[in-house]
Amino acid sequence: MNGTDRDREFRLDGKIALVTGAGSGIGQAIAVKFAAHGASIRIVDVNEQGAERTRQLIAKCGGQASVHICDVTDQALAQVVFNEIFAGERIHILVNNAGVSHIGTVESTTEADFDRLLRVNVKGFYNCMHVTVPHMREQGGGVILNMASIAGSAGLPDRFAYSMTKGAVIAMTYSVARDYMAHNIRCNCISPARVHTPFVDDYLRKTYPGREREMFEKLAKAQPIGRMAESAEVASLALFLCSDAASFITGADYPLDGGFFNLRG
């Protein structure tokens, strides 16, 4: 297979992809990557400014995208916004990415923290699949990609509530893949280790003022490969899983972990 054939294999020409939380970080990288490979993007985010930045990035590269403001934790609102997107067009791909992180043990996690994580990272994913699956079923199929985390299947320190939500994402992925296989809907998830996103920089700035570089290196070296992942690397795996090249893959949790699970000392 020559280079041209390989490039064609990962094209998304004629596909429409709805990406939640696409206003920054991993979601933005996925939206831009998908657009660069031919998809038309529906940017869904609660942050209008961030969503517009993503749209502009895609437009600069000659891609097509539209912005749709939505709090995915509100099912009634999600139903309205998604139905507006569905009107007159077929959504081929849903990337469930909108989420929040949290640091804390079971003792230090407040009830408000717990409820917020559950509402955004679990209910938000459920809401988006709840309103999208009927559309995909009626249109003859589609692809759902959920952003999970190694925290969902590994015991990470100080990640009690976050780990709980990402474990739920993995379980929901398996369930949807099983229930809708006969309807030509594939559902997979990606479980990254640490990814260098604005959240990491904000966390270091707030928690270790003056020691940001030192602590960044410490967090980076926690992965056996010796660094954090980049958002673009997550986007590349997402592109494969949402392309026709991955048509035989469903119900899979893909670790993107720099050797975390198998190569730790």
- The set of catalytic residues is 162
Q: CA torsion, points 10, 134, 152, 102, in degrees to nearest 10?
A: 100
Please provide the distance, in angstroms rounded to a whole number, between the alpha carbons at the two ends of the chain: 38
Q: What is the DSSP letter of 91?
A: -
Separation CA 229–CA 12 (nearest Å): 24
In 140-248, alpha helices (H): 160-179, 198-207, 212-220, 231-242
Extract the runs of DSSP E, i.e. beta strands, from the chain.
16-20, 40-45, 64-69, 93-96, 142-147, 185-192, 195-196, 229-230, 253-256
Q: What is the DSSP letter of 38?
A: T
**CA separation (Å) from 39 to 43, 56, 175, 243?**
12, 15, 27, 10
Residues in contact with 77: Cβ distance below 8 Å, sequence separation at least 6, in sequence order: 70, 71
Report the interhelical angle of 124-139 vs 75-86 (nearest 10°).
Answer: 30
